[in-house]
A and B are shown apart, each in its own frame.
Chain A
Amino acid sequence: MTAALALGDDALVLSHRLGEWAGHAPVLEEEVALANIALDLLGQARVLLSLEGDEDELAYLREERAFRNVQLVEQPNGDFAHTIARQLYFSSYQELLYGQLASEGRSAFAPVAAKAVKEVAYHRDHAEHWTLRLGDGTPESNERMQRALDSLWRYTGELFEPVEALPVDWTALRDGWLTTVTDVVARATLTLPGGPQVGAWTAGAGRQGIHTEPFGRMLAEMQHLHRSHPGATW
C-alpha cells in the first residue's frame, strides 16, 4: 500500500458519502455546508491520487479490495447525528495528521497537507459545533448523537495504524485525537464510548483492502457512470 492511496482514498470516499446528502440535508445551510466539505475533500483526493497515478482510473476503475481508505469513512450516512459523529471522529484525525505532515518539509505530502489542514480546521469546527448543539439539545437529539458516537467508535482504532512511509508520530496523533474528542464530547454533555476501538469480528481493516458491506454498494454507484460510459464528459 502506498501512503498516497491511503490518504487519497480516505478523502475520496468521505467526499462521496457527504455528497449523498445533496437533496436530503435537514436544512438548506447544511446542504451547502456538507457539499462544501465534500468539495474540499474531493480536491484533496485529486491531488493525492495524482501522486500515485491517473486520478480517474484510480477512482473509477479499481475494485473494492484495492481501496485503502479506513472503514470509518465508508460507513453509511445514517441520520444527521451519525454523519456528524463520523465527521467529528474523522476531521479531528485528519487535522492532526495533516498538521504533522505539513511540518515535515521533506515529505512529498507536505505541500498538500499544509494547504488542506486549513480547510479541515473548518470541517472540524463544523462537526464540533453540531456535536455541542445536538448533544446539549433536546433529549431526542442527545440520544441520537450518543447512539451515533457509540456505533462508530469501533471504527476509530484503525485510524492510528501506522501507514508505511508517512513521517507521523502515531502515538502523539492518537493522544491528540483522544484529547480533542474527549473535550468536545464532555462539553456536549455526552459520554465518550468506552468499548474497544476495533470490532471483535473484523478480518482486517480498510488499509489492508478489507471493507465493510456497505462499501461495495457505494462504489457501484460511484463508479457506475464511468464504467458504463468510459470517458464520458459533460
Chain B
Amino acid sequence: MLTLADLGVLRGLHVTGPGRVEVELTPTYTGCPAVEAMSADIERVLRERGQEEVTVRTVLSPAWSTDDITAEGRRKLAEFGIAPPRTTGPVSGPVPVDLAIRCPHCGSTDTTLLSRFSSTACKALRRCEACREPFDHFKEL
C-alpha cells in the first residue's frame, strides 16, 4: 500500500500536549479532492491510537513536487500499474540517459502519450506500443 509518507505529503507532526497532535499535510494538486480523505484518515488513525485532539492543517509552501515521492513510493506505484514520475529537479550525480516512460505492465519504453489528463489531475494517459495496454503515468509536477 502506498502510504502518505511514500507520497511525500506529510510535512510535519507536532505533539502539542498530552493526547494532542497537530499534523501538517500538503496537497499534491491545489484542487485534489483526496486531501479531505487523507485528512479524515489521519484523524481516525490517530484517534484510534489514543490521541484525543487531532488537528490536520493544510500547508501549501513549499509546493509539493513529484520529486517528493520516495523511491519506495515509486516502486509501489509501478507495482500498482501506474508509471512513476520522472525526476524534475536537479539531479545529483550522473544524469540518467533513459528518460522514456516505461510501461508498468511489460517494461517496454516504447510508449505514447494519449492525453495529458487522465483519471485524476495528477496522471496522464499513455499507451504501450509493445503490449498495446493503456496505462496511467503519474506526471511530473
Among B60, B114, B117, B139, the residue within 8 A (CB) of A111 is: B60
* CB atoms of B31 and A43 under 8 A apart: yes
Among A37, A44, A110, the residue within 8 A (CB) of B117 is: A37
* CB atoms of A47 and B117 under 8 A apart: no
| Chain A binding surface SS class | helix
Q: Confirm or deny: B119 has a beta carbon within 8 angstroms of a beta carbon on chain A.
A: yes
Q: Confirm or deny: A118 has a beta carbon within 8 angstroms of a beta carbon on chain B.
A: yes
Chain A residue nearest in CB terms to B64 = A115
Chain B residue nearest in CB terms to A32 = B117
Among A39, A42, A122, the residue within 8 A (CB) of B116 is: A122
Q: Confirm or deny: B33 has a beta carbon within 8 angstroms of a beta carbon on chain A.
A: yes
Q: Confirm or deny: B92 has a beta carbon within 8 angstroms of a beta carbon on chain A.
A: no
* CB atoms of B116 and A116 under 8 A apart: no
Residues of A in contact with B (beta carbons under 8 Å apart): 29-30, 32-33, 36-37, 39-44, 46-47, 110-112, 114-116, 118-119, 122, 125-126, 129
Q: A42-B31, A114-B62 are in contact. List 17 more A-B contacts (CB 8 A).
A: A30-B115, A32-B115, A36-B117, A36-B121, A39-B33, A41-B31, A43-B31, A46-B30, A47-B30, A111-B60, A114-B63, A115-B30, A115-B60, A118-B65, A118-B141, A122-B117, A126-B117
